[in-house]
Amino acid sequence: MLAYIIKRLALVIPVFLGVSIIVFVIMINTPGDPVLVRIGLDPNVSPEKIEAARRELGLDQPIYVQYFKFLTRLLQGDLGNNIRTGRAVAQDILEAFPRTLILAVTSIILAIAIGIPAGILSAKRQYSIFDNAASVGSLLAASMPNFWLALVLILVFSYWLKLTPISGYGTPMHLILPTLALGAALAGTVTRFTRSNMLEVIRQDFIRTAKAKGLKESIVTFRHALKNALIPIVTVIGLQFGSLLSGAFFVEVVFAYPGIGRLAVQAILQKNYTVVQGAILVVSISFVLINLLVDIIYAYIDPRIQYE
């Protein structure tokens, strides 16, 4: 297991390099001029001042030189400075990323709390009214764009019922609607995966043997059936958790939630490429590490799994 973890951690390096190259090239070739972000849009700015700002940002050098300097700073833990404010990008990300992480964790908890019990009951009561309702509901939840659901939630709970704040951050009430917007689709996905895998497991011979031995229904369901159905479920939860870190971008913008998604979207609109690069790199590395954690959890769920 230790060798496997080291091997997976080593794979982070090429992923890191690949993401850094892609992000750098995309930001360099997008329309707009970062220099104008730095000095403003004053029409009276002299060409000399614009050229001086371009040299200060290093944009007067060839692209490969710019990338090499960017990569060198990155290996030293320096994500550069925010072009607009002059603050360290790492400081901006350290403030924003924990907020997005909190939102992702609450959304995952909501999805698990709804999806796994609903999937188990649907499998145990196949073709019942509950099963049909859960199947339709999970399909609808998984199909709805989260930003559209966010707008509907604001309209219902904030505008009509006036139960929750429309936007912002700072209290548990501010987390309710963003969590629902992100967690609903994931809950639908978890429900469908749990149902399909539970149906496959409960038809196995060892489940019939457990029932024939007179074991309690709860023991058969949770200790034998659910435990053997968990690996695909854990897989989809891990992948969706990583996706939440990037999928939260749109929801954070709708709710004006000051997470890393909103930070990145604002930076894209401002051509603030240093912030965009830092945000995408952090999210990408987080996704890789989450997948590694999921693989490690496999071994604890099923000891039969052996890694080469």
So where are the chain's domains? 101-271
Does the pLDDT value for residue 7 go beyond 90?
A: no
Residue 282, amino acid: V
What pLDDT, on the 0 to 100 scale, is given for residue 102?
92
Return the closest-CA partner of residue 112 out of 19, 214, 244.
244
What pLDDT, on the 0 to 100 scale, is given for residue 62?
84
CA distance 109 to 163: 22
Burial (CB < 10 A; 0-12, 13-18, 19+), residue 18, is: exposed
Query: What is the rounded average pLDDT of the residues 78-94?
Result: 86
Q: What is the pLDDT of residues 157-189, one digit of tens each?
A: 999 999 999 888 888 999 999 999 999 988 999
Query: Of the given ranges (53-62, 66-75, 264-273), which has the lowest mean pLDDT?
Result: 53-62
Chain-wide mean pLDDT for the chain? 84
Does the pLDDT value for residue 248 go beyond 80?
A: no
CATH code 2.60.40.10 for 101-271: no
Residue 88 pairs with which residues in a beta bridge?
A: 81
Which three-class secondary structure string do you get for the chain? CHHHHHHHHHHHHHHHHHHHHHHHHHHHHCCCCHHHHHHCCCCCCCHHHHHHHHHHHCCCCCHHHHHHHHHHHHHCCCCCECCCCCCEHHHHHHHHHHHHHHHHHHHHHHHHHHHHHHHHHHHHCCCCHHHHHHHHHHHHHHHCCHHHHHHHHHHHHHHHCCCCCCCCCCCCHHHHHHHHHHHHHHHHHHHHHHHHHHHHHHCCHHHHHHHHCCCCHHHHHHHHHHHHHHHHHHHHHHHHHHHHHHHHHHHHHHCCCCCHHHHHHHHHHCCCHHHHHHHHHHHHHHHHHHHHHHHHHHHHHCCCCCCC
- Tokens read off for 93: 């990300």
What pLDDT, on the 0 to 100 scale, is given for residue 22?
84
